Every structure is written in structure tokens, then in C-alpha cells.
Structure 1
């Protein structure tokens, strides 16, 4: 009886890890897609981008959105840096929302 409980416990842990990993991969790919679409729409060229896992900058830290620290070249040739939130604060990257706050 104890062996069967341990076996099912391991299965639950593996299932949890698989779901968490799948969610991480989805959020990463979707966040990059939203960031690229945002840059295209704004006419910016991304020079540097780094996903910020813990420091969400000026955005709410409880947000499920993916936040990037970016440096871009604007259409007028100026170099700007700031924070881009990809996705909504509640639905995360399932939302098409993007927002930017410049330094």
C-alpha cells in the first residue's frame, strides 16, 4: 500500500513539473512574440531585451505578464530604454496587451 502511494505521489510531482515547464515555455515564446509585435507597431528596433523574472520594474509585481527591460532605437534615431509589459496583469500572456514605461 505504501509503495502505491509513493508511486502516485511521484506521478503527481512529475505532472506538476510538466505543467509548470510547459507554462514557462508558453509564456516565454508568447512574450517574445508580443514584444516583437509591439516594436514593429511602434516602429522601433530592439537593440537589447532581457526578460525580468523577479524585478517587474514599475509594473505590479503580482502581474502574470512577462516584463522585459529593453533598449530600442526609435524611428527618429534616438536610443531609449525602459520596461515593456507583454500581456495583461491577470491573464498574463494570453492577453494581447502591451505597455511601456520609459526611463
Structure 2
């Protein structure tokens, strides 16, 4: 493999990795906002949880994202809980969203 081909391959891999990171962040926000709108919630705070995944700890794949959220419902009550985005195999390519409240 020539030096130029190797350089192009490395640049393509780096570009794909950067695109993937941005896409995952954008997609997770899209799913989270859609979930909130469908349930009449206003998101007051959100924290992505990579390690401490609450009730989803043992059942979450590496392709799914888990958030700890604080929301306000349409009656003005505040709630905190966990929201998991994506499904086991397809991750964020899926529209699946699950919540568990404290």
C-alpha cells in the first residue's frame, strides 16, 4: 500500500469517527426532545450516563444511550428519572425510548 493510500485511509477513518460522534449527539438530543414533547414534558436538566445507568444498568447495550433527567410536566410537577434511547441491536438508529421514574 502506498503512503498516499494509507494517509487517505487514515483520514477517512478519522473523518468517520468524528462524524459518528456528532451524529450520535445530535440523534440522542432529537430522540430525547421528541420523547419529552410527546409526553408534555419540559426538560429542565439532562445528564448522559455512561457508567451509572440506574435501573438500566444491566440491560443496556453499548449502542444505547442513557440519560438522567429532570422534567416538568404539564401540571407544573417536577420529576426525575432515567431515559434510555435506542434498542439493544440498532442503538440510536431505532426510535425506541424507555423511561423509569424515581
- Secondary structure of the residue aligned to 2:90 is coil
Larger radius of gyration, structure 1 or 2?
A: 1
Unmatched segments (≥5 aa) in structure 2? none
In the other structure, the counterpart of 2:94 is 95
In the other structure, the counterpart of 2:66 is 67
In the other structure, the counterpart of 1:22 is 19
Q: Deviations over 1:7-64 (max 9, x none)?
A: 4333322222211211111111111011011001111110001222x22513234231
TM-score (norm 2): 0.81
- Whole-Å separation in 1 of the counterparts to 2:27 and 2:77: 27
- Whole-Å separation in 2 of the counterparts to 1:51 and 1:13: 30
- Does the 8 Å contact 2:71/2:78 carry over to 1? yes
Over the residues paired in the alignment, what is the CA RMSD in angstroms? 2.0
Measure how far apart 1:65 and its partner are: 1.9
Measure how far apart 1:71 and its partner are: 0.5
The 5-angstrom pairing of residues 1-103 of structure 1 reads 4=2, 6-52=3-49, 54-55=50-51, 57=53, 58-59=55-56, 60-103=59-102
